[in-house]
Amino acid sequence: MRYKLTLIGFGNVARALARLLLRKQDALKNQYDVTFAFTGIATGSHGFAVNPDGLDIQKALELVEAKQSISSLSSFDVKNSLDVIQRSSADVMFENSPVNVQTGQPALDHIRAALNLNMHAVTANKGPVVHGYRELTQLAASKGKLFRFESAVMGGAPVFSVYREAFPLAELASLKGIFNATTNIILSRMENGESYADAVKYCQSIGVAETDPTNDVDGWDAALKVAALVTVLMDTPMTPQQVNPIGIRGVTPEMIAQAKAEGKRYKLVCSAEKADGKVSASVAPQLVDASSPLYGMMNSSTGVAFRTDVILDYSITQSERPGMQGGPVETAYGLFADFVNAVKK
């Protein structure tokens, strides 16, 4: 079957997804009889393009990476992302607009629009998971479609799908992990003698931290991921404001040196626990020693350990890849996996 795809957001992750789909197109055809065409693209600063018969995706990649507009590829005069969704005639929408911690917008509206037009909706955006999980899941079910978000936590490492498929009727009692690669890189580099400011600049230079690193270093990105896991896996709606994170700005070189002398290190630890129907969650710097599975997670490594009523401890880790810093390729694979799992059925 031929699927029409629309991309809302065409940054590093979405472009990596486009390249991954092209690389895997023969395997998709041979194994699942799935083919595809890109029929809509919305960018933040390089325009919009729609062609229900198929866009030239290679040309779109070239134009954006040359910082040029893609509007010349369009069959229609489209003005915004909702126009792209409505006019693309797509079967699947990939939503990768910037994360809004406070409201989940505009991603929420994008996903609602796609589902109402009978598209599968796939996102790496944590905002709509936290702020609209139940609503969007119910809307998707009413349309016979799927709302999927594997890349929202730990990039391409399967967290939601593993729990969904491998732990039927298991009750999640607690989770603990490291979810923010940027702060883990900063703390790792500070342990090696670098200053906080220089470690932040390094993360910005390799593209894992924004010009304003507030969401990372103050713990909001990690809190959003904790809230997403609690909302979905503990069936308890939670916002990052309820997590009330404490970031790493207060961790000084002196504190790190003292911890190192004691055989310990600081990590931005994310945790949640459910007891008597209530969930408590936190994001805060904590000292861990060599007995902790978090101790060995250095640089861009991330991971989570689940404790359930049937299996006491189950861990998923994403180790640092040589030459990479947990970048867009891994996140793109999570989107790709959600697409495959949606259409192969």
* pLDDT-based confidence at residue 322 (cuts at 50, 70, 90): low
Predicted local distance difference test score (pLDDT) of residue 207: 78
Question: Could you give the percent of the chain with pLDDT greater than 90?
Answer: 82
C-alpha closest to that of 235 among 191, 278, 298, 189:
278
Q: Is the distance from CB of 245 to CB of 281 less than 8 angstroms?
A: no
Q: What average pLDDT does this structure show over 246-269?
A: 96
Average pLDDT, the chain: 93
pTM for the model stands at: 0.91
Q: Which CATH superfamily includes the segment(s) 2-155+329-343?
A: NAD(P)-binding Rossmann-like Domain (3.40.50.720)
Q: Is the distance from CB of 301 to CB of 307 less than 8 angstroms?
A: no
pLDDT tens digits along 16-72? 999 999 999 999 999 999 999 999 999 999 999 999 999 999 999 999 999 999 999
Active-site residues, by number, are: 225
Q: Select the more confidently predicted residue: 327 or 85.
A: 85
* pLDDT-based confidence at residue 123 (cuts at 50, 70, 90): very high
* pLDDT-based confidence at residue 327 (cuts at 50, 70, 90): low
Q: Which CATH superfamily includes the segment(s) 167-321?
A: Dihydrodipicolinate Reductase; domain 2 (3.30.360.10)
Distance CA 41, CA 57 (A): 9
Domain ranges of the chain: 2-155+329-343, 167-321
Q: What average pLDDT does this structure show over 155-174?
A: 89
Predicted local distance difference test score (pLDDT) of residue 325: 46
Q: What is the 3-class SS of the chain, one letter each residue?
A: CEEEEEEECCCHHHHHHHHHHHHCHHHHHHHHCCEEEEEEEECCCCCEEECCCCCCHHHHHHHHHCCCCCHHHCCCCCCCHHHHHHHCCCCEEEECCCCCCCCCCCHHHHHHHHHHCCCEEEECCHHHHHHHHHHHHHHHHHCCCCEECHHHCCCCCCCHHHHHHHCCCCCEEEEEEECCHHHHHHHHHHHCCCCHHHHHHHHHHCCCCCCCCHHHHCCHHHHHHHHHHHHHHCCCCCCHHHHCCCCCCCCCHHHHHHHHHCCEEEEEEEEEEEECCEEEEEEEEEEEECCCCCCCCCCCCEEEEEEECCCCCEEEEECCCCCCCCCHHHHHHHHHHHHHHHHCC
